Amino acid sequence: MKISLESAQADSCNHEDLTRICSGFVRVQARRASAVKVGDEVCITGYVVDNFCIELGNFLDNPSVKTLEHPEEHSFHCLLDVESCRDGGYQVLGEKNGDTGMHCLGFRLNDTDAVVAAGQSSGQSGYCTSCTGDSAAPEYGWLATVKGTIVNMGDGSNGITGTPILNDVRVLSSDVECNRTTVPPLCVGTAPTPTVPTSSTSAPSPATTSVGTDLHVITSYVLLFFSLMYSLLN
């Protein structure tokens, strides 16, 4: 019986027992496709946060809130008015990891003056004393689209110094869409490693009790397994 690789992947991913390995296969492919390097143009929409509050672990003016858990609650006052926050520089975060509940670190922005100026014009005047926005502007959670060019990939750590640095930084409205969103390296690194599914203790469904169907599923599983191993090793 001939089964193509594409057919094996499609059929196997429809089989309940193989859900996790198929999900892992997709994550591995996404991880390989999202690699970045020095000189690459970056576009990402995410929360802009100061590095001081990231290292602190919570917001300076709201200590009960974890920085990477709820950046949408970060005040423009804390971001822009507080000297220690400005001096620490800024970065744009990646998406929230569904497993940890935390946003991954993204890209450091190598132009603090440009970031501060963009933030002051975006934030609501009031609690943020340096902001110039009207009453419709946000007071908390600076969501922006950031563009720039990678000039340094970081030191390889999982902390702030491990995030790539962007030059030629442009901080735009979050309404500006990226033609292609750049996935930060530290976000890619949080993708779960694919695991082999454990055997189920539940009774087999009628659709998988026939010899022919079992043989087809086993063959599909074997082909998918070797495809996954090939992707990991190349």
Q: Are strands 58-59 and 62-66 parallel, antiparallel or unpaired?
A: antiparallel
Asked if 122 contacts 82 with a C-beta cutoff of 8 angstroms, the reply is no
| Angstrom distance (rounded) from CA 217 to CA 203 | 17
Task: Say how many CA atoms lie within 13 Å of 193 toward its Cβ.
Answer: 4
| Angstrom distance (rounded) from CA 111 to CA 83 | 16
Task: Say how many CA atoms lie within 13 Å of 70 toward its Cβ.
Answer: 11
Angular region, 117: left φ>0, alpha ψ -120 to 50, beta rest: alpha
pTM across the whole model: 0.68
Burial (CB < 10 A; 0-12, 13-18, 19+), residue 198, is: exposed
Q: Which residues contact 83 (CB under 8 A, 6 or more apart)?
A: none
| Angstrom distance (rounded) from CA 188 to CA 162 | 13
- pLDDT tens for the 234 residues of the chain, in order: 444 444 444 444 454 544 444 444 444 443 433 489 999 999 999 999 999 999 999 999 999 999 999 999 999 999 999 999 999 999 999 999 999 999 999 999 999 999 999 999 999 999 999 999 999 999 999 999 999 999 999 998 999 999 999 999 999 999 999 999 999 999 985 544 334 444 444 444 444 444 444 555 565 656 666 665 555 555
In the chain, what is the greatest distance between 2 CA atoms, to the nearest angstrom?
Answer: 73
Q: Which amino acid is at 146?
A: V
Q: Are strands 165-173 and 107-109 parallel, antiparallel or unpaired?
A: parallel
Cβ burial 218-234 (10 Å sphere, 16+ → b, else e): ebbbebbbebbeeeeee
Q: Are strands 58-59 and 41-50 parallel, antiparallel or unpaired?
A: unpaired
